[in-house]
Chain A
Amino acid sequence: MASPKSDLPQGTLDMLILQVVALEPIHGYAIAQRIRQISRDVVQVPQGSLYPALHRLENRKVLVAEWKQSETGRDAKYYRLTPRGRAYLKSEAESWERLSGAIRLILREARGTSR
């Protein structure tokens, strides 16, 4: 089984999940699909990381879940952001933006001086 952690930097999985859930209430399978589609198959979230992460986020009251009928007619567990989750996502996303901007900057500058 390919390790997802080698693909995703530590701690970013939670953020991605939250970002996807933020759009609309959604079940686990769809979360995995959505992340893969949006990232154009670059990021693949294996079940072995996805579900523990969902349960952990639910336990931290960042997500809440309820059982609802899915598009195929079967009951599925739908996750939804709590207000706390929304605030958490916002702060995580901001700090990620800052960090990735900084990294990009360093890469560009370093490349410039080495040239």
Chain B
Amino acid sequence: MNWWHRVWQRWRMEDELDAELRFHFDHLVSDYLALGVSKEEARRRASAEFGGIEELRDACRDARGTRWVHDFAQDVRFSARLLSKERAFTLVAVLTLSLGIGVNNTLFSIVNALCLHGLPIEKPDRVVDIAARDERGRARPLSRREFDDLQGGQSHALEGVAAYVNRPATLRDQAVPAERINLSYISANALSLIRQQPFLGRDFRSDGDRPGRAAVVLLGGTLWRTRYSADPGIVGKFVTIDGRPTTVVGVMPEDFKFPDNADAWQPLSALDTPKDARILRSFARLAHEGTLAQAQDNITSILQRQSQSSTRTIPGGAIVMSINERYMSRITDPAWLAFITAGLLLVLIACSNVANLLLARGVRRGHEIAIRLSLGATRSRIVRQLLVESAMLAAVGGVVALAISIAGLKLFAAAIPEGGLPYWVRLTIDARVIVVLVIVCMGTVLLSGVAPALQLARTNLNLTMKEAANNVSTSRGARRWTWVFLTLQLALTVIMLSGLGITVQSFYLLQHRGPQIDAKHILTFGITLPSETYRASEQRLAFYRSLRERVTGVGQAVAVSVANALPASGGQPREVIPNDRDRSASVPVRVILIDDAYFTALGLPLLAGRSFTPAEGASGRMSIIVNQRFAEMFLPRAEAVGQRVRLRAAPGSPNPADEIGTVVGVAPSLRRQPTLEPDPLMYLPLPPSAMSTVVVLVRAKDEPSSLASSVREAARQIDPNVPLYRVMTLEDANWEARWNARVSAGIISTLAFIALALATVGLAALTAHAVAQRSRELGIRLALGAERKEVVLLVLRRVLVQVAVGLIFGAIGAKAWERIFGGAGLTTAANLATVSLLVVFVTVGVSAWPAARAARIDPLLMLRDQ
């Protein structure tokens, strides 16, 4: 019989043991009978020789190694009975644990979805992302020429190489107005390499990668459902994409939006671009026995061979990495580490709280434990039983925590605007999350249960038995532990609150300090010009010009501006070289391309200098408008206008030399996101390279919502193929652009408030407990003439000392956090002072209640009771 059988078939074991012993016994009896004694005498002698049968059975059970299982079952039953009897304690402990574990589990589920889960591709670890490496080791897209070489390069380590380019496009057909879609141009083999098949129709494999074929498109499931009401006969029908009649050849499943939330796909061959433009993102699947290292070698050698024959390539070779690594957020980023740490700290706070509850309860149980010890229970058995109690609390807490984290994930998902996250992010509870949940629950048993259990099992038998049952004084050890746990809790609360402090501060600054835009009265929308019909920069500029003219004429519109990014989001980073003498160092600064009316449309007067002129940028000299913050950070002289700014060549620009611009104006520093300091910004004129995707800002006299339809009409009159998208007030656009900050603020305030609540409840409960314990002493003091006020102060003094120590450790902890994870402003005097005041106010305020009860002790009653 193996171990499991022995555990589950205990009755059978017992039967066999009995049979075995009886066999022996009967033999002994017959041995004695053979000596000629009477039957009774034989049985008596056999029994005497056999000894205590129960002891023997027990020894055999011990020897079998299954005993602890049955002991464990007994412990579970006993603990369940105890915990269900002490409802208040159990409720508080379970609630505390489930809040801590639940919030932590929610955070981990988010980390799991963004950093660990990865793309829904078959065997994603066999799919690698390929990029060219530039002189400075950065990843750059491939050119068409390089991609062709890779495809023709016959690398035995790779099953195949695919590429894609994402471009917004305009989709039009007879029925519905034109719509802007995220189109992805993919090489013919791309879908088969990631093992994805269309849900209807066929993929591009038969089209090949040669240009000049008839235009075809694969529709995404969502587009098919919303725009074509899931028409099953869609395959073979014609739609117009960027003005070209295109045949629908298939429909992809609805949850497939590879690579970046694509709505539809066209073959790469449909994209007509220069051979040397670095626009292709590339990936490959490793061949059956190929390794990443081989792929890296192969691809590097192919790219380098080619770079000798062409001057337009970069010599650094290739960067090949797992596609998940390229797409997923890096869990080792300080921001994610901080995220995870914050969750674990909350678990730690919950554990400290439960540990303190257990310690306080232990004092009440000292008598029970002493009795059990004196009846012969071993200390290890007592510790085991106490740990089983903790484990049961953690188990129930874990189940509630699971419910909390499901709700938390729902809340998180609801706070994210559509398209805010990559399509492959699944905010669900998967096996990994469950495993981590179980591990965290086990961790809480260790953290919250071990110290109280050991403390309680050390109960001094003699002392405890002598004292009255409900007046057992806390041992010094228990008090020390309580003190440590409370300090820890308060300190961690201070760290979280100081995080909340900067968040509140930065949101306040965003809304009430610095220049403000009247965002309610500005309408914004996006435009993407079809690349087929608007090839040249002049064509695009002409469209924007006529759009501005027409819209300005419409009803309420006061000013119209075209730019490449909204005030709160977007803009390309450019490298600014702040020091002319050391040109190796550079700082990334966001650049927004704007026209001459931008600041008028925002209603934001410049602080110095002038706006761009309508002809700005055409001359070849680069004019720059910087914001005040930029001037403070990078411009040495007080007078910003007229100073020069050196920029590194834009990535992908044909001319690698630095560019030098002259500051012509200084704009006020708008905060884009809730931050303590506004970001430095540069504005460059739109014209020289007017892009095909822009945003338009229309300033209205009042309510801009009535403007929307007339603006649409104006655009339709210029070109019906150009749809407007994301039409909304600037206020709404800002709200969407700041979702990330808002969600972070939601998370940090949840953490901070739970931490504060737990610490407060913990402190108050312990104060109440201390008052109950000291009631006799306090009663005597009152009887001897102490004033009630003095008694209250006596109790509160301890609370104050405890809080003060917690605050000191909290400040040290916040400093450490700032060191490790960053987070400027965390430990400014003002922030820490505010947090400390809040903590003192709340904790002392709540603890005053049990303290006041101490003053109401009736000395006569108290002394008579004893």
**Do A and B make up one complex?**
yes
**CB of B865 within 8 A of chain A?**
no
Contact A47 B23 (CB under 8 A): no
CA distance in complex: A76, B21 (Å): 10
* A46 at the binding interface (Cβ < 8 Å): yes
Q: CB-CB < 8 A to B63: which residues of A? A: 52-53, 55-56, 59
Q: Is the Cβ of B24 less than 8 Å from the Cβ of A47?
A: yes
How far, in whole Å, are A28 and B23 apart by their CA atoms in the complex?
A: 9
**A48 within 8 Å of B (CB atoms):** yes
Asked if residues B60 and A52 are in contact (CB atoms below 8 Å), the reply is yes
A74 CB–B CB distance under 8 Å: yes
**Once the chains bind, are A52 and B65 in contact (CB under 8 Å)?**
no
Other-chain residue from A32, A48, A58, A67 in contact with B51 (beta carbon distance below 8 A): A48
**Chain B: CB-nearest residue to A49:** B59
0/1 interface trace, chain B 482-525, chain A, CB 8 Å (1 if under):
00000000000000000000000000000000000000000000
- In the bound complex, CA of A77 to CA of B24 (Å): 10
Given the known A-B contacts A29-B27, A52-B59, A53-B63, are A46 and B20 also in contact in the complex, defined by CB atoms under 8 Å?
no
Docked complex Cα distance between A32 and B17 (Å)? 17
Judge if B19 is at the interface, Cβ distance under 8 Å.
yes
- In whole angstroms, what is the CA distance A52 to B59 when docked? 6
The smallest beta-carbon distance between A13 and chain B, in angstroms, is 13
B51 touches A76 (CB 8 A): no
B21 to chain A, nearest CB (A): 7
Contacts of A59 in B (CB 8 A): 63-65
A51 interface residue (CB < 8 Å to B): yes
Cβ-defined partner of A51 (8 Å) among B19, B49, B60, B65: B60
State whether the Cβ of B615 lies closer than 8 Å to any Cβ in chain A: no
Residues 24-77 of A contacting B (Cβ, < 8 Å): 27-29, 32, 46-48, 51-53, 55-56, 58-59, 67, 70, 74-77
**Bound-complex Cα distance A59 to B6 (A):** 10
- Total contacts A-B at CB 8 Å: 56
Contacts of A48 in B (CB 8 A): 51-52, 55-56, 59
User: Within the complex, what minimum Cβ distance (angstroms) separates A6 from chain B?
Assistant: 15
- The size of the chain B interface, using a CB distance under 8 A, is 22
- CA–CA, A58 to B20, complex, Å? 14
How far does the Cβ of A72 sit from chain B's closest Cβ, in whole Å? 8
**B34-59 interface (Cβ within 8 A of A):** 49-52, 55-56, 59
Q: Is A107 an interface residue (CB 8 A)?
A: no
User: Which chain B residue has the least Cβ–Cβ distance from A75?
Assistant: B19
Do the beta carbons of B24 and A29 come within 8 Å of each other? yes
- Chain B residues with Cβ below 8 Å from A51 are 17, 20-21, 56, 59-60
Q: Say how far A18's CB is from chain B's closest CB, in angstroms.
A: 15
* CB-based nearest B residue for A46: B51
Contacts of A77 in B (CB 8 A): 16, 19-20, 23
A1 part of interface (Cβ distance < 8 Å): yes
A28 and B24 form a contact (CB under 8 A): yes
Contacts of B60 in A (CB 8 A): 51-52, 55
B62 sits at the interface (CB 8 A): yes
Min CB distance B519 to A, Å, is 77
CB distance from B176 to the nearest CB of A (A): 76
A73 nearest CB across to chain B (Å) = 12
SS of B interface (majority): helix
Collect the chain A residues with CB atoms within 8 Å of residue B52's CB: 48
Q: How far is the CB of A66 from chain B (nearest CB, A)?
A: 10
Provide the bound-state CA to CA distance between A77 and B59, in Å: 18
Q: Are B56 and A52 in contact (CB under 8 A)?
A: yes
Q: Which residue of B lies closest to A56 (CB)?
A: B63
Smallest CB separation, A12 vs chain B (Å): 17
Measured CB to CB, the closest approach of chain B to A2, in angstroms, equals 10
Q: Which residue of B lies closest to A50 (CB)?
A: B24
What is the CA–CA distance of A46 and B50 in the complex, to the nearest angstrom?
Answer: 7
Q: A49: shortest Cβ distance to chain B, in Å? A: 8
B56 touches A1 (CB 8 A): no
A47 lies within 8 A of B65 (CB): no
Q: Contact string, A64-100, partner B, CB cutoff 8 A, digits 1/0?
A: 0001001000111100000000000000000000000
Given A47-B50, A55-B63, A55-B64: A29 in contact with B23 (beta carbons within 8 A): yes
Which residues of A lie under 8 Å from residue B20 when comparing CB positions? 27-28, 51, 76-77
The distance from the CB of A78 to the nearest CB of chain B, in whole angstroms, is 10
Residue of A nearest to B6 (CB): A59
Instruction: State A24–B50 Cα separation when bound (angstroms).
Output: 25
Cα A77 to Cα B50 with chains together (Å) = 18
CA distance A52 to B24 in the complex (A): 14
Q: Which of A48, A56, A58, A74 has the largest count of B CB atoms less than 10 A from its CB? A: A48
Expressed in whole angstroms, the Cα–Cα distance for A29 and B21 within the complex equals 9
Within 8 A of A (CB), among B7-23: 16-17, 19-21, 23
In the complex with contacts A56-B63, A59-B64, A47-B51 CB distance below 8 A: yes
On chain B, the residues within 8 Å of A67 by CB distance are 16
Q: How far is the CA of A67 from the CA of B51 in the complex (A)?
A: 25
Q: Known contacts A47-B50, A48-B59: does B23 contact A76 (CB below 8 Å)?
A: yes
Chain A: CB-nearest residue to B48 = A1
Most chain A CB inside 10 Å of its own CB: which residue of B50, B60, B63? B63
* Cα A1 to Cα B48 with chains together (Å): 8
Tell me the nearest residue of chain A to B30, going by C-beta: A72
Q: Cβ of A53: which chain B residues have Cβ within 8 Å of it?
A: 63
> What is the CA–CA distance of A29 and B55 in the complex, to the nearest angstrom?
18
Q: Write out the residue numbers on chain B whose beta carbons fall within 8 Å of the beta carbon of A1.
A: 51
Residue in B closest to A76 when the chains form the complex, CB atoms:
B23
Task: Chain B residues near A58: list those with CB within 8 A.
Answer: 64
In the bound complex, how far is the Cα of B21 from the Cα of A77, in angstroms? 10
B49 to chain A: which residues have CB within 8 Å? 46-47
Q: Which residues of B have CB within 8 Å of A55?
A: 60, 63-64
B50 touches A74 (CB 8 A): no
The CA-CA distance from A90 to B287 in the complex, in Å, is 55
Residue in A27, A29, A32, A76 whose Cβ sees the most chain B Cβ within 10 Å? A29
Most buried by A among B20, B21, B49: B20
Q: How far is the CA of A75 from the CA of B19 in the complex (A)?
A: 9
Question: In the complex, which residues of chain A have a beta carbon less than 8 angstroms from the beta carbon of B59?
Answer: 48, 51-52
Q: How far does the Cβ of B66 sit from chain A's closest Cβ, in whole Å?
A: 9
**Those of B54-86 within 8 Å (CB) of chain A:** 55-56, 59-60, 62-65
Task: For residue B52, give the distance in angstroms from its CB to the closest CB of chain A.
Answer: 8
- Besides A51-B56, A56-B63, 10 other A-B contacts (C-beta < 8 A): A1-B51, A27-B23, A47-B56, A51-B59, A51-B60, A52-B59, A59-B63, A67-B16, A70-B23, A76-B20
B-to-A contact residues, CB < 8 Å: 16-17, 19-21, 23-24, 26-28, 49-52, 55-56, 59-60, 62-65
The 23 sampled A-B contact pairs (Cβ below 8 Å) are A27-B20, A27-B23, A29-B28, A32-B24, A47-B21, A47-B49, A47-B51, A48-B51, A48-B56, A51-B20, A51-B21, A52-B62, A52-B63, A53-B63, A55-B60, A55-B63, A56-B63, A59-B65, A67-B16, A75-B23, A76-B20, A77-B16, A77-B20
- By a beta-carbon cutoff of 8 Å, the part of chain A in contact with chain B is 1, 27-29, 32, 46-48, 51-53, 55-56, 58-59, 67, 70, 74-77
What 3 pairs between A and B have smallest CB-CB spacing?
Answer: A55-B63, A56-B63, A52-B59
